[in-house]
Homo-oligomer: A and B are copies of this chain.
Amino acid sequence: MSSNIPYKTYLSEGEVPCEWYNVRADMKKKPAPLLVPSTLKPCTPKDLAPVFCDDLVRQELDDETAFFPIPAEICDFYRMFRPSPLIRAYFLEKALGTPAKIYYKFEGNNTSGSHKLNSAVAQAYYAKAQGLKGVTTETGAGQWGTALSMACAFFGLDCRVFMVKCSYEQKPFRREVMRTYGASVTPSPSMTTQIGEKINREHPGTTGSLGCAISEAVEAAVSNPGYRYVLGSVLNQVLLHQSIIGLEAQAAFRKLGEKPDVIIGCAGGGSNLGGLIAPFMGEKLRGESDYRFIAVEPASCPSLTRGRYAYDYCDTGRICPLAKMYTLGADFIPSASHAGGLRYHGMSPVLSELYDQGLMEARSVRQTDVFAAAQYFARTEGILPAPESSHAIRAAIDEAIKCRENGEAKTILFGLTGTGYFDMTAYQAFNDHVMGDYVPADEELEASFAKLPEVPAT
């Protein structure tokens, strides 16, 4: 470790970015607009106002403004857990014997355990600024619900979380973290919403799904005055907030006088990957620099690598707007993969469009290969990674090994989105050698694609 590059690079408070970057502003061909489900017409601010708060609607629909100033209250909150470190993976490089330089941007040093807090605090802030009483949301694995609970506790907002019933029962510790932050956590489907009642009546004993929890959370928001619904991924606004990850990474690389060749992130709905690559993609779109971008998704839920680029519903309940995105179909039920945060049938419309334009690569990896990388990383770099993040680790290790084989000293950056402290059941399955690999058959995907909605060309 004789290099003059430190193991960890922190920006000073004065160097921390004070604006979010909106990559859509630099895209010549923009992502397709959201559509209203009842009319299949592009969503207007009025269509979205009952669901999202006003400032967030503006951010959602604005594909021209490149930079949005970050409000001072959000900057203050960011100081609690940001800047996150850019870490030079010296120990991993040494263990792999690779000439590659490996960096990772680590977002896990906060109680939510992931990057989700970056957008949660923004969404809570705007809700508070609009004078709302509270927000509703759904959570599966629990990272997003935890992040939102923390943000709501800080701003004094009520927070109602619909947690997929099987997770509610299997992950009592996640639930308790949310309760400690003052959130109410309801197992979904519940009897507190009409849709929940209906599902419970039609499917007695069901343990719920993310799609159902979304529907309940949206219903709870629109039927309670002073409440709005918030979402932790997929949306343009979320990618905007998450750009803080990439902006910090970009500033840190400039400070070090270094530059990544390859940028890698895991991709579920796209919040982390979209945030990490945003400013670098901006450079590429403006013709200032070239980078390779790699999205890594689970082989069990391969929306980019095996999905269709089409309009589809964002939720299985089909009450949310339609988005044009790479999708496996809103009815596709991902297998019980342990990377809960990547079990989404679609992909951010921004990332989908960038991928479609050939500006980004994608690959899928199998679960056991992912956990082998996770364990290797934990033992060499000391951080126990989240299963989601470990998809990026797998690809980064594979790229570094390629560099060793080719004798290339490339600079690799990957996003380490979070820690795996609440995912030990999955690690246990791996440690006990009982973890399986599921890959959907072509027929399964074709059957799901057949149910994609028909949307007239606009």
Contacts and interface: CB of A to CB of B under 8 A. Distances in A.
Interface of A: 1, 6-8, 10, 12-13, 76-77, 79-81, 91, 109-111, 113, 150, 153-154, 172-173, 176-177, 179-182, 375, 378-384, 419, 421-422, 424-425, 427-428, 430-431
Contacts of A379: 153-154, 181-182
Contact of A382 (B80, B91, B378, B380): B80
B427 A180 contact: yes
Contacts of A80: 7, 91, 381-383
B176 A427 contact: yes
Contacts of A428: 172, 176, 179
Contact of A13 (B6, B13, B422): B6
B382 A150 contact: yes
Given A111-B378, A181-B379, A173 B384 contact: no
A372 to B, nearest CB: 11
Contact of A79 (B1, B76, B177, B180): B1
A7 B13 contact: yes
A171 B428 CA distance: 12
Q: Which 8 A-B pairs have the closest CB atoms?
A: A173-B424, A7-B79, A176-B424, A153-B379, A80-B382, A111-B384, A176-B428, A421-B421
Given A1-B76, A379-B182, A424 B111 contact: no
Nearest to A111: B384
Nearest to A426: B176
A382 B150 CA distance: 7
Binding site secondary structure of chain A? helix
A6 B379 CA distance: 33
Contacts of A383: 80, 110-111
A91 B182 CA distance: 17
Contacts of A182: 379
A151 to B, nearest CB: 9
B110 A382 contact: yes
Contacts of A153: 378-379
27 contacts: A1-B76, A1-B79, A6-B12, A7-B79, A8-B79, A77-B382, A80-B91, A80-B382, A81-B382, A91-B154, A109-B109, A110-B383, A111-B382, A154-B379, A154-B382, A172-B424, A173-B424, A176-B425, A176-B427, A176-B431, A177-B424, A177-B427, A179-B427, A180-B384, A180-B430, A181-B379, A421-B421
Contacts of A424: 172-173, 176-177
A8 B83 CA distance: 10
B375 A180 contact: yes
A253 B80 CA distance: 19
B79 A431 contact: no
A146 to B, nearest CB: 9
A325 B343 CA distance: 55
Nearest to A7: B79
A80 B427 CA distance: 22
A161 to B, nearest CB: 14
Residue with the highest number of chain B CB atoms closer than 10 Å, among A177, A381, A384, A419: A384
A123 B269 CA distance: 44
Nearest to A182: B379
Nearest to A1: B76
Nearest to A371: B180
Contacts of A381: 80
Contacts of A172: 424, 428
Contacts of A6: 12-13, 79
